[in-house]
């Protein structure tokens, strides 16, 4: 997830175009902007790159998720099935919509297990929101099939997986809408930003309006525009979009570097007993932002985490103890600590997140380590890292 590693002349040039006109808004100012439409350009190029009919940028990935839920008509009392291994934004957006996150088990893809969705169904289930974690895909074909059979809306949180594919088709294009984030630690960044993509023109128009106070964006006078719906302000600024335009044009080069680095490390790990790799439903479509692997027990995973850090192998995450990414440490959710009462507290039988039991996910996450793949590594860095990892993990195995 190297967006923050890149800021070069290309990014500076795009931002400079905006600075020279002083038009920081994505809409209007047609004369003053001298032909620079950074948000529009980013949207057109991203839609084309991902093979989606429409793309709409938002102020963040969280705003994109919120916009997608709204456009798909998901709100008060609706249940949305989500994985317990994600970033907190996934459930935050659902709660903010007035809807109810329902957690289902993950499998060794580190994403929602399609075979455990049925157990999470209720008469109130409206949608499934799989998260393509750490750069790679869920078993999205089976999840999409389940949604179609059950008449559920599929919204993909592809915030960590831009450029990833499953059987050649871009992640984010399998359901009604796909969501992306371009925050500073994502594969490409624009400082802060996000996007929704869809093939459905009505969803696109609704998302467009919702994320800008309900404006229909018809005509040239904002004050005279119609408001098909009420909305909010989740607009991206032209300055942010400008950075994104430059970064998107580097995406293919980024993926190529990540995949090359990851291959060296993965091949090295394959020589160590007692380690297995994350299951990838389509290895060719992995965006390769992380190398994730399983130790054979929680103890071994904790020992490996400590030993790798001690040996100077940085950027290895043990998510089981992480406050942001796994439900075990989401104490604020478990206690429902919100600024103001949430819609779900009005339900007759609200969920008790303090009592959720996800033994399969716990067993997997307790054994999982993920190493971030960086763009700035040289071939020597990668070779040395692979060597150190193998040495450290083999020593561990000999104990
Ligand atoms: C980063 C991220 C988001 C939210 O994106 P922001 O742009 O930081 O709001 C949502 N879901 C996942 C899985 C993410 O990793």
Tell me the per-residue pLDDT of 286-296, one tens digit each, with 9 for 90 and over: 999 999 999 99
pTM across the whole model: 0.97
Give the mean pLDDT of 176-205. 97
Cα distance between residue 188 and residue 198, in whole Å: 20
> Rounded to the nearest whole angstrom, what is the distance from the C-alpha of residue 195 to the centroid of ligand 1?
11
- 61 CB less than 6 Å from ligand 1? yes
The total of other beta-carbon atoms located within 10 Å of residue 206's CB is: 23
- 87 CB less than 6 Å from ligand 1? yes
Q: Is residue 399 pLDDT above 60, yes or no?
A: no
CA torsion angle for 77, 83, 86, 89 (degrees, to 10)? -10
**Region of residue 288 (left: phi > 0; alpha: psi -120 to 50; beta: else):** left
**Per-residue model confidence as pLDDT tens digits over 324-340:** 899 999 999 999 999 99
- 62 CB less than 6 Å from ligand 1? yes
- 160 CB less than 6 Å from ligand 1? yes
The total of other beta-carbon atoms located within 10 Å of residue 95's CB is: 17
Q: Is residue 312 pLDDT above 90, yes or no?
A: yes
**pLDDT for the residue numbered 1:** 57
> Rounded to the nearest whole angstrom, what is the distance from the C-alpha of residue 270 to the centroid of ligand 1?
31
Locate the domains of the chain by residue range.
Answer: 3-251, 252-398
- The residues with which 79 forms a beta bridge, in sequence order, are 100, 125
CATH of domain 252-398: 3.90.1150.10
Mean pLDDT, rounded, of the chain: 96
**Per-residue model confidence as pLDDT tens digits over 206-262:** 999 999 999 989 888 888 888 999 999 999 999 999 999 999 999 999 999 999 999
Contact 127, 81 (CB under 8 A): yes
Q: Is residue 397 pLDDT above 80, yes or no?
A: no
Give the mean pLDDT of 166-172. 98
- 90 CB less than 6 Å from ligand 1? yes
- Write the DSSP assignment of 45-63 as a string of letters: HHHHHHT-SEEEEESSHHH
Of all protein residues, whose CA lies closest to atom 5 belonging to ligand 1? 61
Active site residues: 186
User: Closest ligand 1 atom to the C-alpha of 86?
Assistant: 13
Of all protein residues, whose CA lies closest to atom 2 belonging to ligand 1? 159
Considering only the top CATH level, what class is 3-251?
A: alpha beta
> Rounded to the nearest whole angstrom, what is the distance from the C-alpha of residue 218 to the centroid of ligand 1?
31
């Amino acid at each position: 997830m190297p967006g923050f590693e890149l800021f070069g002349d290309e990014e500076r040039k795009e931002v400079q175009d905006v600075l020279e006109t002083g038009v920081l808004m994505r809409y209007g100012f047609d004369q003053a902007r001298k032909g620079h439409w950074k948000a529009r350009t980013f949207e057109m190029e991203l839609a084309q790159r991902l093979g989606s009919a429409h793309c709409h940028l938002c102020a963040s990935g969280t705003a994109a998720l919120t916009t997608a839920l709204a456009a798909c008509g998901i709100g008060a009392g609706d249940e949305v099935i989500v994985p317990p291994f994600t970033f907190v934004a996934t459930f935050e957006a659902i709660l903010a919509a007035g809807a109810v996150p329902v957690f289902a088990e993950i499998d060794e893809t580190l994403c929602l297990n399609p075979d455990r969705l049925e157990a999470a169904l209720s008469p109130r289930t409206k949608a499934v929101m799989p998260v393509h974690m750490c750069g790679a895909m869920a078993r999205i074909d089976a999840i999409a099939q389940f949604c179609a059979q059950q008449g559920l809306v599929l919204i993909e949180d592809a915030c960590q997986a831009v450029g990833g594919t499953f059987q050649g088709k871009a992640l984010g294009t399998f359901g009604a809408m796909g969501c992306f984030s371009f925050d500073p630690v994502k594969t490409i960044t624009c400082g802060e930003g996000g996007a929704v993509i869809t093939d459905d023109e009505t969803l696109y128009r609704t998302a467009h309006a919702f994320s800008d106070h309900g404006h229909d964006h018809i005509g040239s006078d904002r004050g005279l525009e119609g408001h098909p719906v009420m909305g909010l302000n989740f607009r991206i600024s032209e300055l942010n979009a400008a950075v994104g335009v430059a970064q998107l044009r580097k995406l293919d080069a980024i993926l190529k570097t990540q995949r090359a680095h990851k291959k060296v490390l993965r091949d090295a790990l394959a020589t160590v007993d007692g380690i297995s790799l994350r299951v990838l439903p389509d290895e060719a479509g992995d965006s390769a932002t992380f190398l994730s692997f399983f130790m054979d027990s929680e103890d071994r995973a904790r020992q490996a985490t400590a030993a790798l850090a001690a040996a100077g192998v940085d950027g290895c995450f043990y998510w089981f103890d992480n406050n942001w990414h796994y439900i075990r440490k989401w104490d604020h959710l478990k206690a429902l600590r919100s600024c103001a009462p949430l819609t779900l507290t009005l339900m007759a039988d609200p969920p008790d997140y303090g009592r959720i039991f996800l033994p399969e996910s716990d067993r997997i996450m307790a054994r999982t380590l993920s190493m971030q793949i960086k763009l700035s590594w040289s071939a020597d860095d990668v070779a040395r890292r692979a060597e150190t990892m193998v040495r450290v993990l083999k020593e561990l195995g000999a104990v």
